Structure formats: C-alpha cells, structure tokens
Amino acid sequence: MTANPRRWLRATFGALEAVCTRVFSPAWNPLVQLGAIGWFFYWVVAVSGVYLYVFFDTGITRAYDTVEALTHAQPWIGGVMRSLHRYASDGLVAVALVHLLREFAFARMKGKRWFGWITGLPVLMLIYVSGITGYWLVWDVLAQYVAVTTAELLDVLPLFGEPISRNFVNQVALSSRFFTLMSFIHIAAPLLLLLFMWIHIHRHAAARIQPARGLGVLVAGSLLGLAIVVPAVSQARANLDQVQATIGLDWFYLPLYPLVQQWGGATVWQLLGGMLLVLGLVPWLPRGTPAPVAKVNLLNCNGCGRCVADCPFGALSLEPRSDWQKYQAEAVVNADRCFSCGLCVGSCPTATPFRSASVFAAGIELPQLPLVTLREQLEKSCAPLAGGDRLVVFACEHAGTLGADLRRNAAVARMPCIGMLPPSFIDFVFSRRLADGVVIAGCGANSCYHRLGQRWTEQRIAGQRDPWLRARVPRERIALSWDADLGAFRKGLASLPVLRLGGRGASKPLPLPAGPRWPVPMRAIGIALLLGAMAGITGLLATSPGWRQLGQDEAVLQLSIRHATATKVECKPLTPQQMAELKPNMRRPVDCPRERWPVYLELERDGQLLYRGTHEPSGLWNDGAATVFRTFRIPAGPQSIVVRMRDSGRASGFDHVHSGTIDLEPGQNFVIEFRSGEGFTWH
Ligand code: HEM
Ligand code: SF4
Ligand code: SF4
C-alpha cells in the first residue's frame, strides 16, 4: 500500500474531525473517541443480550416463537431490548471499522506500536462471529440463509468429517445439534471478545473506555430513537423445504455472504485470508528508522514517578535505586514499549530551562532532542523577532504544516509530541521576553497522535496536573491550536497591556479561555442532523437492500449423498503359514483390506448434464463413506431428472440409476439423497 491512500484518508478524517469539533464541541467529538463508543455499544449489547436470553428458548423448534413473543407480546421492553441488541451490534461493527481506518490513517500502529493493531484483529473477528451466530438464533429465513451459507463456507475447510451442509438439507434432516452449538458460541464469543477488548487496551495508560458523558447520552438517545422508530423484527419463519427468493440482509455483518453464492466458498476464504494477511502486515510496512528511546539521567532523577504516571504506553516503571543517591526509586525505560514521544520529559520536575547550569539536563530526556538544545534553539530563533506580536510556536511533529499567519514573526520549536513541552518553557519565554505570545500547536482536538499529549498539556496549563504552568504566566497570551481562533489571537496580542511578570499572579492558575464555538441552536441542529443520519444509515443497512438469492421462477436442487461403497478387495482367510509369517500382534484369521471404491455420479436435467464427478471415500486409508453435497439453482416447472451412480469400481455402466419427471414450485428445495441399501430417494 502506498503512502497516498493513507494521506488521502488522513485528510478526509482531518476534515470530518474539524466539522465534528465545531458541531459537537471538542469534548464530545465522536470521531476522536470511537474506541470508547465501541465499549459503550458492547455494554448495551451485553445487557440487552442477557435480557433476551431470559426469554429465549435455545431449541430449534421453539426459537422463532420465543423471539416473536418477545417482540410482539411485550413490545415495549422486549421489542426495545431486541432492537437495542441489534442496532448496538451494528454500531459496534461500524465503529470498529471506522476506528480501524482512523488508526491506519494516522499510522498509530507502526513498528513497535503494533500491539493495538494486532490485538484489534481478533476483536474484529470476534465481533463478526458473535453477530453471525446471533442471526442464526432467530431461525427465520435470514437465519436459514446464514446457516446454509455458513455451512457451505465451513465445508470448504478440512475440519469436519462430513459436510455440515447436510444438517440443513431439508426440514427432515434438520437437527438441533448445530443450533445448540451456535447458541453456545453466541454466548462464548462475546465473552472472549470482552477479554480481547481488555487485552487490546491493556498497554494503554488511561485508555478511554467511556465516551464523554454528554456524547454517551446523545448516542444512547439515538440508539433508543432508532429502536422505537424502526423496531428490529424477524423475517418469515425458516423452512428448509423452501428457499425465499429475496431476504433482508444485515450488510454490517453479512457483506461477504452473497459472494459465497457468486464465487464459491473457497474464493471467499482466499479473499478473507488475503485481507487478514494484509491487515496483519500493516504494522510492518516500510517505515523510517525508529527514533532512539527515552533515556533516564540518574544524576537528575529523584524517583518522583511523575513520568511513570504520564507515559501513555506504560513504558516506564519505578525500580529500586541502583546508584549512591539517597532516593528510594529511579525511573526505568522499557525500550520495547517506548515510542519516543517525550511526554515523560514534559512531566519531569527537573526539566526547567531556568536552571543555571550551562548544560542542563532533565531526569529523563530524548537523546535526539535534549532540552538544552531546545533552549538554545529557542533563544537563537527568537533573537531576530521584533514588534508587539512576536510569537513562539511550540509545535508537535504531527501538527502538519503551520499556516502563514503562524510562521510570520515567529520562532517555531518542533518536538515529537506537544506533551513533551515542560510548562516552565512557556514561563521562560515570557520571563526572558523572548516573545509576546505562545501558540501550542498539536494534532486535532482530542486526537493526539501520542494519545495523551494534549490532555496532559491542557491540564498542566490549567494547574490540574504536575508540573503546572506557574500562575503568574498570563493565560491570555497562550493559545492552543486545537481550541483557539489563531488569527484573532495573533491580532489581539499587540493590543494587550505591557507584559509584566515577577509577581505571584493569581493564586490558582486559570484554564485557557475556550476557543470559538458555534451558537448553541446551530450546534443542536448539526448534532441532530449528524446523529439522525448515522442512526438512519444503521437502520437502513441492517436489512436493506434485500439480497435476491434466487430468481422468481427458480427452484433449488440439492444432491446429498453419503455412501460407504464396497471394499476394493474382499476379505479372505489366511493360511496357518501366512499367519506364522506375521508379527504376533498382527495375526488375524481373516485378511480384510479396508480401502473402498470411489463414487462416480452423473446428474442430468432435461437431457443435459448438470453435474458429473468422482468422489473418493473419506479417511486416511480411503475406508470411510464418500460424501457428495451440491446445490443447483434450476428453473421451476416440470422437468425430467436422471441421476446415476457407479460405486463398484467397474469401468463403465452404472450400479444405481433413478429417473423421473418432477414439477418444481418456484422456491422449492428439492433434495436427491442416496442411502446404502435403499438406493436413491428424492422429495
Ligand atoms: C469495537 C472494537 C474496538 C474497540 C472497542 C476498540 C477500543 C480501543 C480503545 C479504547 C483504544 C484506546 C484509545 C485511547 O485511549 O487512545 C484503542 C486503540 C487502538 N485500536 Fe482499537 N478498538 C476496537 C477495534 C480495533 C480494531 C479492529 C483495530 C485494528 C485492527 C484497532 C486498532 C487500534 C489501534 C492501532 C489503537 C491505537 C494503539 C496505539 O495508540 O498504540 N482497534 N482501541
Ligand atoms: S519524572 Fe523525572 S525525576 Fe521523576 S521519576 Fe521521572 S525521570 Fe525521575
Ligand atoms: S518517550 Fe513516551 S513512550 Fe517513551 S518513556 Fe517517555 S512517555 Fe513513555
């Protein structure tokens, strides 16, 4: 994959996020908390699922009726619970896929950061297993389609001794065996999913698993609205003797199912395997040399543990002191987990540019950008600035190209993440009168590439997290690129009263003023439109467009055969001399070679060959039954059928022949079977 699709995707997400930030506000922007919304959907699915299960009968004969009773006899709570269960499951797929695309777009899975991506893949697979088995349980025509198509898919894999499809060949063959297995998987898979979701975020410090409260209420409201306006209902009752021409398909869960009919199960497996392989390789796609990891400088580390608390990737720990200093602990970097973001540098209380040492060093530093270099560069690039709107822009490497307005009369200091900036550097800029204003430029609101850089920066400036920006620093001279009108900020700088520091300032540091917001009524309309559109699309794709699996005038013919042919060599008694030649444990009075003859089959319809094939017996020694399972879509109406079988090893001619004229109704499922001893039967 080239870099271009990623760049394009990134730009698209950037534009969408900008709209969502305006409409929802930065705190409620759903695009930057997709994982948290995923968790929310999971819990809705789990709670509604437990409710449904109380009323559900897991036997195949009663399943449809119990789901119908739940939907119609208790339409409020039962119907709503069922709809919530379905739509939250659809939401889970949608959220997981958009989240996957977004993480890919922002390359948050490259190299050492593979863990989140790779553990996301089983999460995705388990979501699909849970959903597909769920559709099976309703036992309506969609469930029938899911059962028959899944069986066709599974039969391609060399997992089962005989085709599972034979379980669904018609109403007579139908057994509860698989249905019960599906009920079990439908409970086990979501539990396993929960485990993998936990593993998925296991390496993330302060992972966001709850959406912002306001957003949670909005999402829950839209889900409930959708459940009431478009309740989830069953389709017609399943009947394996009939195939319904068109069924409503859930395109979130079953988009590949129509391909099974079009391309065959083997091709769909290849497609799936290929997709999984590509996804699995994504973290290791070509990339630059990884940056050196953070390095602890024991001379300056007092073991306070702030870096451990602030590292977004759990790459730091406090360990017993290994040097002569009197402190109890020291910070230790786990190089495999360190992504060189520098957030730990921003959190270290010793990282202050006011230190008089000519070569100052913090307790922890990034070797590629020591703070002493940052200070020198800052002082040097500020020297030529003049006028009343001189700017220092502390910019994160992921902030993209800075606008012309930010580059004019400005000194720009880049760093891997804005969370690397020790707040004392802002104080330093104003104390030394290096500039009149400071802009902190990071990724979009709440979408920090290194997860927590923006959050920690905002909290440090607001005095909510150590190390604070001192209260004396004028907040009106600082702007966050993700939450401010930078043009207005720039213009306003020159008109501010002369900068005076030195006093203690306000007793408690104030947070920065919030950036521009749309008026509330406009935001409310925007939110209603966006969430309404999302709910509408979910409701629509959950059943439509319908999938036409059979033409109006078509019927289905199935060939379902399981036949143990005669053995190739007959049993013959051994002479005493032959017996003596055998090892004692191999001695038997009769020698019975086990290998059986293959089955050769021909199927003709109206004089035209529909199928011809040879099927070897199963088993390692070809000593089991040969099985044949084939489905054909044929025109309905009267037609002649001939089926012939050779099972005795003869070179030509047939051992079993069955023929006749049949008249098929549209949608009828006509089955030809063969049973040893009985010959062919059809119905
Ligand atoms: C509905 C299923 C999923 C849920 C609930 C979920 C949840 C989360 C959460 C909560 C985070 C942490 C966000 C943060 O606090 O920064 C996260 C990060 C991530 N997820 Fe997912 N995720 C899901 C599916 C996936 C899938 C399918 C993939 C891709 C295969 C994926 C890839 C990632 C990556 C790459 C990260 C970032 C890791 C990093 O920052 O190093 N996730 N996910
Ligand atoms: S924040 Fe600095 S002083 Fe504190 S433990 Fe980490 S490196 Fe050491
Ligand atoms: S550079 Fe980032 S990932 Fe590495 S230890 Fe510091 S905070 Fe953690």
Q: Is 201 in the pocket of ligand 1 (CB under 6 A)?
A: yes
End-to-end CA distance of the chain: 52
Which numbered atom of ligand 1 lies nearest the CA of 33? 13
C-alpha to C-alpha distance for 399 and 418, rounded to whole angstroms: 9
With cut-offs at 50, 70 and 90, classify the pLDDT of residue 492: confident
Tokens of 400: 């993209």
Tokens of 322: 């290994």
Instruction: With a cut of 80, say whether residue 513 has pLDDT above it.
Output: no
Beta carbons within 8 Å of 3's beta carbon, 6+ residues apart: none
Q: Is 96 in the pocket of ligand 1 (CB under 6 A)?
A: yes
C-alpha to C-alpha distance for 518 and 76, rounded to whole angstroms: 37
Tokens of 207: 């992972």
**Mean pLDDT of the 483-502 span:** 80
Q: How far is the CA of 342 from the centre of ligand 3 (A)?
A: 5
Cβ–Cβ < 8 Å for 600, 649: no
Task: Report H helices in 25-76.
Answer: 34-55, 63-72
> What is residue 502's predicted lDDT score, i.e. its pLDDT?
61
Tens of pLDDT along 219-273? Answer: 999 999 999 999 999 999 999 999 999 999 999 999 999 999 899 999 999 999 9
Backbone CA torsion sign across 336, 337, 339, 344? negative
C-alpha to C-alpha distance for 566 and 656, rounded to whole angstroms: 14
- 316 C-beta neighbours (distance < 10 Å), count: 26
> What is residue 304's predicted lDDT score, i.e. its pLDDT?
96
3-state secondary structure of 228: helix
Percent of the chain with pLDDT over 90: 64
Beta carbons within 8 Å of 254's beta carbon, 6+ residues apart: 132, 135, 146
What are the φ/ψ torsions at residue 220 (nearest 5 degrees)?
A: -60, -40
On average, the pLDDT of the chain sits at: 90
Q: Is 100 in the pocket of ligand 1 (CB under 6 A)?
A: yes
Q: Where is 561: in which H helix or E strand?
A: strand 554-563
With cut-offs at 50, 70 and 90, classify the pLDDT of residue 506: low
**Residue identifier of the C-alpha nearest atom 2 of ligand 3:** 341
Q: Of 527, 529, 528, 542, whose CA–CA distance to 227 is shortest?
A: 542
What are the φ/ψ torsions at residue 588 (nearest 5 degrees)?
A: -135, 145
Beta carbons within 8 Å of 314's beta carbon, 6+ residues apart: 203, 204, 205, 334, 337
Tokens of 548: 């036409």
Please choose from 117, 449, 451 the residue to mutate so as to test ligand 1's pocket, defined by most ligand atoms within 8 A of CB.
117
C-alpha to C-alpha distance for 567 and 597, rounded to whole angstroms: 6
**Mean pLDDT of the 161-187 span:** 82
Pocket of ligand 2 (CB under 6 A): 296, 301-307, 331, 347-348, 350, 363-364
> What is residue 78's predicted lDDT score, i.e. its pLDDT?
92
Cβ–Cβ < 8 Å for 656, 642: no
Instruction: With a cut of 50, say whether residue 1 has pLDDT above it.
Output: no
> What is residue 516's predicted lDDT score, i.e. its pLDDT?
67
Rounded to whole angstroms, what are the CA distances from 197 to 48, 256, 280, 544, 644?
19, 24, 17, 30, 54
Cβ–Cβ < 8 Å for 262, 250: no
Pick the ligand that lies closest to the CA of residue 205: 1
C-alpha to C-alpha distance for 60 and 62, rounded to whole angstroms: 6
**Residue identifier of the C-alpha nearest atom 7 of ligand 2:** 363
C-alpha to C-alpha distance for 560 and 563, rounded to whole angstroms: 10
C-alpha to C-alpha distance for 218 and 215, rounded to whole angstroms: 5
SS percent in the chain: helix, strand, coil, step 5: 45, 15, 40
Rounded to whole angstroms, what are the CA distances from 266 to 158, 175, 581, 613?
11, 26, 48, 18
Whether the bond into 122 is cis, omega within 30 of 0: no
Q: How far is the CA of 344 from the centre of ligand 3 (A)?
A: 6
**Mean pLDDT of the 588-602 span:** 84
What angle, 0 to 180 degrees and rounded to 10, lies between the N-to-C axes of helices 3-24 and 80-105?
130
> What is residue 2's predicted lDDT score, i.e. its pLDDT?
47
Q: How far is the CA of 209 from the centre of ligand 3 (A)?
A: 22
Tens of pLDDT along 668-677? Answer: 999 999 977 7
Q: Of 421, 376, 427, 371, whose CA–CA distance to 395 is shortest?
A: 421
Rounded to whole angstroms, what are the CA distances from 331 to 49, 298, 585?
45, 8, 68
> What is residue 485's predicted lDDT score, i.e. its pLDDT?
80
Percent of the chain with pLDDT over 70: 97
Q: How far is the CA of 544 from the centre of ligand 1 (A)?
A: 29
Q: Is 311 in the pocket of ligand 3 (CB under 6 A)?
A: yes
Q: Of 683, 547, 564, whose CA–CA distance to 628 is shortest?
A: 564
Which numbered atom of ligand 3 lies nearest the CA of 450? 2
C-alpha to C-alpha distance for 106 and 8, rounded to whole angstroms: 11
CA 500 vs. chain centroid, Å, equals: 52
Q: Of 38, 41, 35, 134, whose CA–CA distance to 88 is shortest?
A: 41
Tokens of 233: 């209902």
Beta carbons within 8 Å of 570's beta carbon, 6+ residues apart: none
> What is residue 176's predicted lDDT score, i.e. its pLDDT?
78
C-alpha to C-alpha distance for 313 and 650, rounded to whole angstroms: 70
Encode 441-477 in three state secondary structure: ECCCCCCCCCCCHHHHHHHHHCCCCCCCCCCCCCHHH
Pick the ligand that lies closest to the CA of residue 417: 3
Pick the ligand that lies closest to the CA of residue 98: 1
DSSP annotation of 60 reads T
Which numbered atom of ligand 1 lies nearest the CA of 38? 5
Q: Where is 316: in which H helix or E strand?
A: strand 316-320
Cβ–Cβ < 8 Å for 323, 356: no
More confident residue, 588 or 65: 65
C-alpha to C-alpha distance for 67 and 53, rounded to whole angstroms: 10
Cβ–Cβ < 8 Å for 416, 450: yes
| Domains in the chain: ranges and CATH | 3-284 (1.20.810.10), 295-494 (no CATH), 550-682 (2.60.40)
**Residue identifier of the C-alpha nearest atom 6 of ligand 2:** 307
Strand partners, 681: 673
**Mean pLDDT of the 176-204 span:** 93
> What is residue 65's predicted lDDT score, i.e. its pLDDT?
92
CA atoms within 13 A on the CB side of 309: 10
Q: How far is the CA of 41 from the centre of ligand 1 (A)?
A: 14
Angle, CA of 200, 202 and 204, to the nearest 5°: 100
Cβ–Cβ < 8 Å for 193, 123: yes
With cut-offs at 50, 70 and 90, classify the pLDDT of residue 322: very high
More confident residue, 167 or 100: 100
